[in-house]
Structure 1
């Protein structure tokens, strides 16, 4: 039996991210951690793992509890190791030689091709790097598991494999999952904690049910807030009138009663805390429009790996104006390679077999957000690319969730969620009519994902997207193309 205990835990950076968290996680508890970008989810996971200390309160663990943490990014010291060795080193040194079979088992579970076993981690796709981090936790056989955005970059088959591993009845360890993947949270958690700067909300239910309960509670709080506000105003007015009567009539009793009413109004006002909003920054898109009926055509091109290995053929394909095409397929199947070829063609490169409309204006964002100059500041990036005044740039960045004190720092210092919102802001200002987006929801919080879905549909722009987010795909796709059996195939 293992447990994690939090008593009065809080984080300040310097403003409060969350405070006064008190709860116990025991065997069988699978907690979904939900909050906006930059709200402290990763920080809390590091505190639970013992890699950081909270600003307030304390965290205790059962004696001898082995905690496995799957972070969002691969540690730099593992990037040049072969995949097999990077996983093997997660086994305690004294056990590595005799327990290396664990690595073979987990790689077999993930159906990792033998060619990947000796490939350096930095040469792997984002999905395989994520699987390597999960495999490291798997082989270490922890007593408690902490997962930070575990489904980012994973294909649907691997997500379902991970869901099966977490839900294995024999695996009753405490598990905490910080995720923006709504379907994954529903399938893998039985408790939900909504992190908030004021009072966080905890429910003994998976995400969707917990979110409905939270909305009901927030609505009730809002109603009570409005009622208390009106009552405080009434008491203030009555206290003022009664005080004047007391002064005019020299009535100590009236003035004493007025003071009591004023104190009651003040007590009510002290409790008038606004209901928390999950908006971390607006997401808006644009569509400059075009008269072209067909935006892109492919004449059965062959997509290859960096070493020239053939991955798949596209067949003949045309994408009409307004279509939202989602590319699906296994990790490493070549989806991002195809997106890269489309980008080159739309930027003017001569790619045989790909023809884009002369009126197509591309808006591009990839998984690593490589379109953002990491050394530049957000302000310099937006101001240098678009003809906007200083105050307008600052206002746009602030509305996108990038605070004033962050606008003058290097983009590399932003959180992944802030980088994603910066990239989407740049896309909107470019006013494209063809969006080319590779895993756009990976680092965006749930409120942002839902807003992005609404904008993609509302703008009516043509899109080619790579995504494994099941809720996102269901919401936006008008066509689904799957890489399977060496071909790109249309799926109903």
Structure 2
């Protein structure tokens, strides 16, 4: 018997997020849930968890089913608790009194530092908050574990811990995970559900293979639709000819035949289904203003130090040329952020060890999208960042997925995905020829990641990017820099580096 049986489920907000959804979740399932931002993934998880109601359809739970849900962000009431107490809070009163040792065992399994366990949740980084939420869900030993973007804010070492933790769960425990991390989905899922407004697609395959199967299915349906519509046009043409002949000859038989052809055309047209077209959440476009300089950035053997003056690593002599797309990899604490900050400051001038070409124009985006704090609304951001007129500014914002009614709304209210798309739009308007990108895919859905990859590859700007997104690095980077043993080294293949970082 299924743990969860879903039949004809629908969810409608201002638009249909999904409808006609049929889904069965069995013991031991590992299901990846994929959709663009704002298309119902989190809502579906909350519906399965019993925290939200669907618009229509039925959801049947197995008797005695224990379900646990780890959301993206901690509830406000947990922020003042210590990490340990926030996890213990998930237990019922009796278990919290007599079995609190389960919390410690679980935090050990998740490699949570002892020093962090007594700190208030609100003071922790997003990555440790994610670990706390996972621990809260797992400590009740559920039959079904629901995870909403569990890799958000995690570096590769923590993603490795997460993957090993999920692999070690009891065989009967089912896991449903909504994620935009393609490599993570490939590693942990055996089924993939592509959530759509109609005809959601469920494949018994991990993400990459499921995506290929979905694209093949959509292409076949597209061809079938074109064939059906050609038949419809042919039937209508035959009906029109017979109608004229029937009128001129007065033949009742031809009139009946004409009606039959028209009815066949109507039925075929009604049943024909066009191939699915994903509704874009907004385009991501970048540019490259170009440069005649071969070396955009030249770096001497530079020491990168911590705020207390401690040496993190030395760079050795380096250069960045036009068209280079460099991924900077390294464990947390090795100095990636310090290097990016040093590079950004140096390119504003005044650093004898790091020099940019006279033609270099920098575009920068940090992982917290803090550069957006300078503006109150998207409208103000575009108007002050460019010479675009009113109508062009509205068109640009709409193209980035920010509807007209939201263009004068406070940026602070926007989702992470909306902020990321706005940040990319502002970068493009600045017309840089060198991009410095710190975790650019953090808030982007898979569609947004694909578009950003395509833009970087197509327009060939130089860029240095810091990312824990393995699929993004594999798809974009032409050079790999790694911080190892207090040195910055260049390697040819990122995969062995990923393996080392994930092994912890």
Going from structure 1 to structure 2, the CA distance change for 1:61 and 1:342 (only over 3 Å counts) comes to farther
Give distance in 2, aligned partners of 1:420 and 1:154: 18
Is the aligned partner of 1:388 residue 2:400? Answer: no
In structure 2, the partner of 1:340 is 341
In 1, Cα distance between equivalents of 2:171 and 2:440: 32
Alignment partner of 1:403 is 2:399? no
2:440 matches 1:440: yes
1:75-111 residue CA offsets vs partner (Å, 9 max, x unmatched): 3333344333333333334323433333333333343
Structure-2-length-normalised TM-score:
0.88
CA RMSD between the two structures: 2.7
Residue 304 (structure 1) aligned with residue 302 (structure 2): no
Alpha-carbon distance change, 255 to 61 in structure 1, aligned in 2, over 3 angstroms: same
Q: Is the 8 A contact 1:375 1:412 kept in 2?
A: no
Counterparts of 1:162 and 1:109 in 2: how far apart (Å)?
Answer: 9
Q: Which residue is 2:214 aligned to? A: 214
Distance 1:371 1:196, change over 3 A: same
> Cα distance 1:325–1:124, how it changes in 2: closer, same or farther (>3 A)?
farther
Task: Name the CA shift for 1:175/1:424 in 2 (closer, same or farther; >3 Å).
Answer: same
Alignment of structure 1 residues 172-211 onto 2, 5 Å: 172-211=172-211
User: Which structure 1 segments of 5+ residues have no match?
Assistant: none
The 1:9/1:112 distance shift into structure 2, 3 A limit, reads same
**C-alpha distance in structure 1 between counterparts of 2:79 and 2:219, whole Å:** 48
Aligned CA distance change for structure 1 residues 138 and 486 (closer, same or farther; 3 Å): farther
Q: CA deviation at 1:192?
A: 1.1
Query: Quick check: 48-57 or 261-270, which moved more?
Result: 261-270
Tell me, in whole angstroms, the C-alpha distance in 1 between the residues paired with 2:421 and 2:155: 23
What's the secondary structure of 1:480's corresponding residue?
strand
| 1:46-85 equivalences in 2 (<5 Å) | 46-85=46-85
* 1:17 maps to 2:17: yes
State the secondary structure of the residue aligned to 1:5.
Answer: strand
Return the alpha-carbon distance in structure 2 between the equivalents of residues 310 and 414 of structure 1.
38
CA contact (8 A) 2:69 2:147 kept: yes
Does the alignment pair 1:288 with 2:289? Answer: yes
CA distance in structure 2 between the partners assigned to 1:339 and 1:167 by the alignment: 35
Q: Is the 8 A contact 1:400 1:425 kept in 2?
A: yes
Q: Distance in 2 between matches of 1:53 and 1:425?
A: 36
Q: Tell me the SS of whatever aligns to 2:164.
A: helix
Looking at structure 2, the residues matched to 490 and 160 of structure 1 have their Cα atoms a distance apart, in angstroms, of 23
**1:379: which partner in 2?**
379
How many residues get paired?
A: 489
Contact 1:166–1:188 (CA<8 Å) still a contact in 2? yes
- Distance verdict in 2 for CA 1:100–1:485, change over 3 Å: farther
Task: Give me the whole-angstrom Cα distance separating, in 2, the residues matched to 1:329 and 1:7.
Answer: 46
CA distance 1:410–1:209, shift in 2 (3 Å): same
Q: Distance in 2 between matches of 1:7 and 1:310?
A: 60
Instruction: State the distance in 2 between where 1:369 and 1:489 align.
Output: 28
Counterpart of 2:499? none
Q: Relative to structure 1, is the Cα distance of residues 302 and 121 closer, same or farther in structure 2, using a 3 angstrom cutoff?
A: farther
Contact 1:400-1:421 within 8 A present in 2 as well: yes
Partner of 2:370, secondary structure, is coil
For 1:144 and 1:476, the matched residues in 2 are separated by 36
SS in 1 for 2:10: strand
Within 5 Å, give how 1:227-376 maps onto structure 2: 227-278=227-278, 279-292=280-293, 293-297=295-299, 299-304=301-306, 308=308, 310=310, 312-321=312-321, 322-347=323-348, 354-373=354-373, 376=376
- When residues 479 and 266 of structure 1 are mapped into structure 2, their CA distance, relative to the original with a 3 A threshold, is same
C-alpha deviation, 1:274, in angstroms: 2.7
Contact persistence 1:298–1:314 (CA under 8 A): no
Higher mean alpha-carbon deviation, 194-203 vs 471-480, is at 471-480
Describe the superposition over 1:17-57 as per-residue Cα deviations: whole angstroms up to 9, x where unpaired.
11011121011111111112221111111111111111111
Identify if the C-alpha distance between structure 1 residues 466 and 100 changes in structure 2 by more than 3 Å, giving closer, same or farther: farther
> Structure 1 residues 57 and 105, CA, compared in 2 at 3 Å: closer, same or farther?
same
Contact 1:301 1:353 (8 Å CA) reproduced: no
The structure-2 alpha-carbon separation of the partners of 1:259 and 1:406, relative to structure 1 and needing over 3 Å to count, comes to farther
**CA 1:10–1:414: 2 relative to 1, 3 Å:** farther
Aligned to 1:372, the other structure's residue is in SS state helix
The separation in 1 between residues aligned to 2:117 and 2:352, in whole angstroms, is 34
CA distance in 2, matches of 1:2, 1:365: 45
SS in 2 for 1:176: strand
The residue that corresponds to 1:463 in the other structure is: 463
Spell out, residue by residue over 1:58-85, the C-alpha distance to the aligned partner (whole angstroms, 9 max, x if none): 2232233222222222333333443333
Q: 1:140 to 1:297 in 2, by over 3 A?
A: farther
**Is the 8 Å Cα contact of residues 30 and 190 (structure 2) preserved in structure 1?**
yes
Structure 2: tracts of 5 or more residues without a match: 493-504
The CA distance in 2 between the partners of 1:22 and 1:380, in whole Å, is 44
- Call closer, same or farther: CA 1:356–1:135 in 2, change over 3 Å: farther
